């Protein structure tokens, strides 16, 4: 005898709840009775149970609430309540991985911004040093020109002094 759509939906819902309960236990080590797992698709969404069942652990996963908050501290627990496992920073859920990668990406963007500022500062300093270097090179060129002129003047004076010495020696011998 063929099952009614209500029976099929109820069976699929129960299978889905059991799979979710098992998945939650496997991922989070939390025991949740399948009857306590709440699924709320609309009655016409029978296929949604099938999708949930098939995607469980693939693109659908159980995640600790603290992971969603980004809180790595163990939550305050009631002493009378059953101990809850604390979220671990090495949680390998898709959500935790995405959040970790988002944080790392944000940190890298901050570092990149800092490096851009440092680079701009270095470029500015480099421009200042290049300008100073050009001025110093120009000053060196001027000083060399001046030294060349002075050496030329000294050579001319030496020649004049030598001529004067020769003239003085001739006049003193007479």
Listed residue (52, 26, 55, 28) closest to 39, CA to CA: 52
Q: What is the pLDDT of residue 156?
A: 94
Rounded-to-integer distance, Cα 108 and Cα 116, Å: 12
Question: Which one has a higher pLDDT value, 66 or 52?
Answer: 52
- Residue 48 burial (10 A CB sphere; 0-12, 13-18, 19+): middle
Residue 82 has pLDDT above 80, yes or no: no
Question: Which one has a higher pLDDT value, 53 or 21?
Answer: 21
DSSP 60: B
> Taking residues 150-169, what's their average pLDDT?
93
The pLDDT confidence band at residue 4, using thresholds 50, 70 and 90, is: confident
Rounded-to-integer distance, Cα 121 and Cα 143, Å: 32
User: Across the strands, what pairs with 15?
Assistant: none
The pLDDT confidence band at residue 70, using thresholds 50, 70 and 90, is: low
Rounded-to-integer distance, Cα 20 and Cα 62, Å: 8
Query: Which of 30-34, 44-48, 109-113, 130-134 bottoms out in mean pLDDT, i.e. has the lowest?
Result: 44-48
> What is the pLDDT of the chain when averaged over all its residues?
82
Question: Which one has a higher pLDDT value, 3 or 90?
Answer: 3
Q: Cα dist. 34→7, 15, 83, 92, 129 in Å?
A: 17, 9, 20, 24, 73
Residue 126 has pLDDT above 90, yes or no: yes
- Token readout for 102 is 């988002």
Contacts of 49 (CB under 8 A, 6+ apart): 9, 12, 13, 15, 16, 39, 41
Question: Which one has a higher pLDDT value, 86 or 71?
Answer: 71
């Amino acid at each position: 005898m063929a099952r009614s759509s209500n029976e099929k939906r109820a069976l699929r819902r129960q299978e889905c709840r059991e799979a979710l309960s098992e998945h939650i236990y496997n991922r989070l080590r939390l025991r949740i009775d399948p009857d306590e797992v709440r699924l709320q698709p609309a009655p016409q969404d029978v296929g949604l149970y099938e999708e949930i069942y098939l995607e469980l652990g693939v693109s659908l996963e159980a995640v600790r609430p603290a992971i969603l908050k980004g809180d790595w501290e163990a939550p305050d627990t009631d002493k009378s309540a059953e101990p809850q496992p604390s979220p671990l920073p090495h949680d390998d859920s898709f959500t935790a991985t995405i959040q970790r990668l988002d944080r790392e990406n944000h940190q890298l963007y901050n570092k990149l911004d800092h490096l851009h500022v440092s680079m701009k500062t270095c470029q500015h300093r480099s421009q200042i040093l290049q300008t100073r270097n050009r001025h110093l090179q120009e000053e060196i060129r001027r000083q060399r020109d001046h030294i060349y002129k002075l050496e030329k003047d000294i050579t001319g004076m030496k020649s004049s002094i030598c001529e004067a010495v020769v003239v003085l020696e001739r006049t003193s011998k007479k």
